[in-house]
Structure 1
Amino acid sequence: MSELRALEELEAIVSGLLRDLSSPGRRQLMRKVARDVRKSQSDRIKAQKNPDGSAFEARRPKPKPSMGNYAVHFLYPSGGSGPPRAVLMKSWMRDGQMLTGYDIEAGGIRSFFWDKIIKWLGVSPDDQNKSGGKIRNRPSLKEKAMFRKLRSPRFLKSGANEREAWIGFVGDVARLASVHQHGLSEEPAKGQKAVNYAMRQLLGLSIEDREDLLDSVLKHLAD
């Protein structure tokens, strides 16, 4: 008998045993199952692996940020309902849709979305010669592990009742997670050409996960 077949038969036996539990007992067990599964899925995403143990397909290499050694001047929406403000930046870099540089008015490093810039303005000789801080390729701007935020309790939720336990992504990230889970196509940003994303299975139970769950359930029943 194959390992999977034996596992399925044991799961069927344990499922029958669960029916003998009281409703409060099943709720307690299902809550524990949900917590355990959420943790195992989060740990696996952190390890950048699919349920079968294979590694997530690596990101496509990103173009290196382009550095600017001249001043740029543009209108950008204000944070509230007020009029847009003029931004003068020195020592800037563009990384994809993000423009980061030293904002003269703010007196520090700031980032702006390229596609939200309302209008490019001319730069006077006086502004071109103004002093400004320098921006370097800081560690915070370097590439980090995929789905780092998605695996956090804020987005990866769990829940249970007396009949079932569940885990899943909530909010806007649920759509993003689905794109990667099934290897779908999507526009990276509004109006951009759709990109075919590699399948990276964020959620899924391996045989080891199922065996651990069975061990946990049997221990609960024995106690």
Structure 2
Amino acid sequence: MASDDMQQLDDWLAPLIARLDAHERRRLARVVATDLRRAQRERIKRQQNPDGSDFAPRKSRDRQGAIRRGVMFSKLRTAKYLRTRTSPDGATVGFFGRVASIARTHQYGLRDRVTENGPRVKYAQRELLGFSEADREHVRDLILDHLGGAL
């Protein structure tokens, strides 16, 4: 779906959503946020950016500083760290608190210290959070399904 189509759909849906009472809007926001969190978690597990490209690989190290095998961000994608917040006005899926700075460093490819007093390292950009076209279409379908049952 093209961005113009999405904008037209947004313009059409906004008045319908506004007709819902606060409780229904919050319930809709919770359903959308929970589904988005699941989709983001699965995408992070596959180690893909929202555009479908793979994450930049880890830098390899020699034997002394060997990096453990496994999937990057395995703890970061758990519900403890990847959280949802909802209100009648919207929903948020993201990292909050201390882990937000770790996620931000990877999301934008910033410089940070590996250890507290260690050297500053430039991290590769790995988009942990973002909307893919499939996410947009899925959210649209969730909203339409919810509105179909509410109206």
TM-score scaled to structure 1, two decimals? 0.64
Which of 101, 118, 142 is the equivalent residue of 1:216?
Answer: 142
Q: Percent identity?
A: 37
Q: Look up the equivalent residue of 1:185 and give its one-letter code.
A: R
Instruction: Note the C-alpha offset of 1:12.
Output: 2.1
Q: Look up the equivalent residue of 1:15 and give its one-letter code.
A: A
Structure 2 distance, partners of 1:60, 1:185, is 15
Structure 1 distance, partners of 2:134, 2:3, is 11
Structure number with higher strand proportion: 1
2:54 corresponds to 1:55: yes
Give the match for residue 36 of structure 2.
37
Instruction: Note the C-alpha offset of 1:173.
Output: 1.3
- Please list the CA deviations of residues 27-64 of structure 1 after superposition, one character each: whole Å capped at 9, or x if unmatched: 11111111111111111101100010100000011212
Which of 162, 167, 173 is the equivalent residue of 2:93?
Answer: 167
Cα-Cα RMSD: 1.5
Structure 2 distance, partners of 1:162, 1:37, is 17
Q: How does 1:65-214 map to 2 (within 5 A)?
A: 65=64, 95=65, 142-214=68-140
Task: Please identify the structure whose Cα radius of gyration is greater.
Answer: 1
Instruction: Note the C-alpha offset of 1:181.
Output: 0.4
Structure 1 distance, partners of 2:4, 2:92, is 24
Q: Look up the equivalent residue of 2:46 and give its one-letter code.
A: A
Instruction: Note the C-alpha offset of 1:16.
Output: 1.9
Structure number with higher helix proportion: 2
TM-score scaled to structure 2, two decimals? 0.93
Task: Identify which of structures 1 and 2 has the higher relative contact order when contacts are C-alpha pairs closer than 8 Å and 6+ apart.
Answer: 2
- For this pair of structures, how many residues does the alignment match? 149
Unaligned runs of 5+ in 1: 66-94, 97-140
Q: Look up the equivalent residue of 2:35 and give its one-letter code.
A: D
Unaligned runs of 5+ in 2: none
Structure 1 distance, partners of 2:136, 2:68, is 36
Instruction: Note the C-alpha offset of 1:142.
Output: 3.8
Q: After TM superposition, where is structure 1 displaced by more than 4 Å over at least 4 residues in a row?
A: none
